Structure 1
Amino acid sequence: MHIELTTEFPAHAPEVWRHVQTSRLLRYVAAPLVTFTPLEPPTWPDVWQGGQYLTRMTLLGTVPLGQQAISVSRRVVSDVPGREHYELLDDGAGQLAPTWRHQITVQATPGDRTRYTDRVEVRAGLLTPVVVLFAALFYRHRQRRWRHLARHRFQALKEA
């Protein structure tokens, strides 16, 4: 099963893309709903590199959700000014969801705005409907945090 959510930000696509590529952004937009703790490697990279990162996830900082592998790849579809289009893929897997394929798409729109899309494919056996419901809530939360960041010119990331 999959979900797809799209929103627009008052920010330039290259700036949004720069932030998408940072582990700091993941920690900010997921909080306080989900907390990620790095396991392997034991510290977060400033910028996601291609490869795999093993994390431990908790709900509301206390309820264990198990381990999750974040497996990152990036693609620049277009870097033509005004028509920028970028994609980041986390082809992850975890204890609750053996398939957690999350694609982030960042596209420039008129008026120096950015269209941001989260598309998530989840396979978790019999738990799939429950995990998809959680994912829908989680990604709505993330996009709300994103909009807040963009409205405030990403100040919270600069202060962290």
Structure 2
Amino acid sequence: MRVLLKLRLDCDADAAWRAIRSPSVLREVVAPWLDFSSLEPGGLPTTWPVGTHRLQTLVFRRWPVGESFVDVSYPGGLPRGVRMLRDGGGTITRGRAGLRSWDHRMAISPLPDGRTLYRDRLLVSTGSPAADAALWYPAWSFWQWRGARLKALAPGWAFDPPGTADAAEHAGTEASEASWASGGPDASGADR
């Protein structure tokens, strides 16, 4: 079974890239239907590192339905400007236990207008064509929900908290632009 999303998000590609790599954003996107808590000693990371991460899946953010895992990788060899997160995870117990394969890929690329093109592909199989057919509509519906949540949350992703490298970079750019606009020392691109 295959489920696809293709969205234009109202944030820049760097902000979208930070967001899709964040377990916190994953939890926001699947709410209120699902939630995840970490089964790892250190809890959920700030950003998904490459590797396998065990999770407890919660229905309606409350009731455990089994253990699962995300298996994060960042494929290379993509066209210029495209970044991708791949989750080849699966189920350890119950929950998605009927799934034999899980391949979820999220790609981010900048659009000329400063927004982001987000592409999402889920390939999943139970091993049974009849079960895959029965699962398709609920999976498609949930993916539409995810898409709506991504679009709603994206404008807030552009915020760069003080003290981050991105905030410092933007502050430097803004200061340089302000100096140029006011005719300051680097307005001509050279010292006066």
Which bracket does the TM-score occupy, shorter chain normalised?
A: 0.7 to 0.9
Amino acid paired to 2:32: P
Amino acid paired to 1:21: R
Structure 2 stretches of 5 or more lacking a match? Answer: 92-96, 162-192
SS at match of 1:111: coil
Distance 1:41 1:124 in 2: 30
Q: 1:65: how far off?
A: 3.7
Task: Output aligned runs, 1:44-83, within 5 Å.
Answer: 44-62=44-62, 64-75=64-75, 77=78
Amino acid paired to 1:90: D
- C-alpha RMSD of the superposition: 2.2
Q: Which residue of 1 aligns with 2:149?
A: 145
Deviations 1:43-91 (CA, angstroms, capped at 9, x unpaired): 1011111110111212223454422210000135356xxxx21000000
Match of 2:117 among 108, 115, 118: 115
SS at match of 1:106: strand
Label 1:69 to 1:132 Cα distance change in 2 as closer, same or farther (>3 A): farther
Q: 1:153: how far off?
A: 4.4
Amino acid paired to 1:52: T
TM-score, scaled relative to structure 2: 0.71
Task: Output aligned runs, 1:1-160, within 5 Å.
Answer: 1-41=1-41, 43-62=43-62, 64-75=64-75, 77=78, 84-94=81-91, 95-126=97-128, 127-153=131-157
Structure 1 stretches of 5 or more lacking a match? Answer: none
How many residues end up aligned between the 2 structures? 153
Distance 1:151 1:22 in 2: 16
Dislocated runs of 4+, deviation >4 Å = none
Label 1:123 to 1:138 Cα distance change in 2 as closer, same or farther (>3 A): same
